[in-house]
Amino acid sequence: MKYSLIIILLLFVSPVFAQQITKDKKLIQFSGIITDVDSNTVVPYVTVTNLSNKDQRYGANYKGFFSFTAFPGDTIMYTAVGYKDLILPIPADINDTKYTALVKLKSEIINLPTVRVYPWATVEEFTRDFMTMKIAADDYAIAMRNLSKESISGLMVTLPRDGAEIQGVNFRLNHFNSVNKNMTQTNPLLNPFAWGKLIQSITEGDKSRRSDN
């Protein structure tokens, strides 16, 4: 019975002490901007944890800004992907109802080991591909095959013209046109002398056929 009374007294007294501590410590509006320590650019979406208030978590926005209520002297931890964790306390000697801090995080560089990715899932697949692999010819055989008539003919059909070849063709066409610009070819149907020769040949043919008859 004695211990039960002591427990009941403690339950009644503890809220009183908590209220006295709360009255002594005034709440403040704690705000801040989180930036990178090297580039001074904002770090978005940082998790801000109040370790002194049952690990209460808050989140900074995409501009690196955060704001929440806390007590002076609370310990705050800042965590973000790609950055080292930072723990900073709020100053205890704050007389105002608000406090603004500029928090700088340092990027964390992690060197990952080199990973080689092979196209074979099992050793059996590698063995099968290795046994069916075609061994390449020597340099002389490769050069002779690439310089053969069939290979060059195929390249001439499939490969597009480069700039130098197009420039050479245009140069030859321009040279031919400039040399033969005064040599115009006339239409024989519009030549009266050609028509005269045609009529003369027709009449001479008629005369030769009449003399034969």
pLDDT, residue 180, reads: 73
Residue 74, pLDDT score: 95
Whether 198 maps to a domain, the answer reads no
In the sheet with 28-36, reading across from the earlier edge strand, the strands are: 65-70, 28-36, 98-105
Between residues 202 and 51, the one the model is more confident about = 51
pLDDT value of position 202 = 83
Q: Is the residue at 111 inside a domain?
A: no
**Could you tell me if residue 194 is inside a domain?**
no
Residue 78 lies in a domain: yes
Give pLDDT tens digits for 4-42. 545 555 555 455 444 444 445 689 999 999 999 998 899
Domain identity same for 68 and 132: no
Q: What angle do CA 76, 78, 81 make, to 5 degrees?
A: 165
% of the chain surpassing 70 pLDDT: 80
Stretch 81-103: mean pLDDT, rounded?
93
pLDDT recorded at residue 211: 65
Residue where one domain finishes, among candidates 54, 70, 105: 105
141 within 8 A of 134, measured Cβ to Cβ = no
Beta-bridged to residue 56, according to DSSP, are 50
In degrees, rounded to 5, the angle at the alpha carbon of residue 50 between the alpha carbons of residues 20 and 46 is 155
Judgement on whether residues 131 and 101 belong to the same structural domain of the protein = no
- Segment 77-92 shows an average pLDDT of 94
> Within a domain: residue 162?
yes
Which two structure tokens, joined as six digits, stand for 82?
Answer: 């790609």
**Whether the predicted pLDDT of 89 surpasses 60:** yes
- Going by pLDDT thresholds of 50, 70 and 90, the confidence category of residue 109 is confident
Q: Whole-model pTM? A: 0.45
Q: Which domain holds residue 142?
A: 117-179
Quick check: is 212 in a domain?
no
For residues 10 and 91, state if they share a domain.
yes
Structurally, how many domains does the chain consist of? Answer: 2
pLDDT in tens, 58-74: 999 999 999 999 999 99
165-196 pLDDT, tens digit per residue, is: 888 888 888 888 887 776 666 676 777 777 88
Go through the chain and tell me how many residues it has: 213
